[in-house]
Structure 1
């Protein structure tokens, strides 16, 4: 069994981010909750070391060495926004929203949409690898300036 790192509420009586995401899914009580739960499961399967957070007034965020993606819910769509999506290869053509920007890319999932789970997991893994590479570059640059 793999452990998932959780950004916790440090025992201050608040719910952990994972518990907050659980509550959000339950609160939605429709196809969006089920879809958000499915997306969450796929993110955790793709990256067992993912950190779950809640930001920006209740938006689930999945991170590993930086933000991987968010899981926003709207009336007609569950939106997965990849923080560095414009830098990711998307051979399966999953990105279908926020295509005009230089940084983010998103996947809008509608009620009857089927998720290409294999392609989505590959995209999540690529986002983690990009974050890890960026973090390594930052560390190397910091080490150079510290040693100079």
Structure 2
């Protein structure tokens, strides 16, 4: 990605390089609650949250903060399994190193005062006990 960006910018070209960027969202209190929760769950947890455009931060403004328990419930309802299983909502992350990095980020957030609303660490998928699975995880009060 960096090489492509460098070459394109040398020639005055605009370019978007997908270099593991993550998206953020701001949830306003006048948003459609059900649609918003559904969209956040899909954007945050689809592709195990590892696509470049995955949602990693949602800021709930005003009364929309009351929706966090419903987002947690939507995330709890997601099925974690091997990616080839038809009803799986989340598959494994890409590598043991990626799994470890995610686990460390969750731990770091908790140590910094975030509340773990839903903890996907320690999830075990039958038949894949040593797999790189991290279940849906939601933290609130992140600084």
Normalized against structure 2, the TM-score is what?
A: 0.23
Normalized against structure 1, the TM-score is what?
A: 0.22
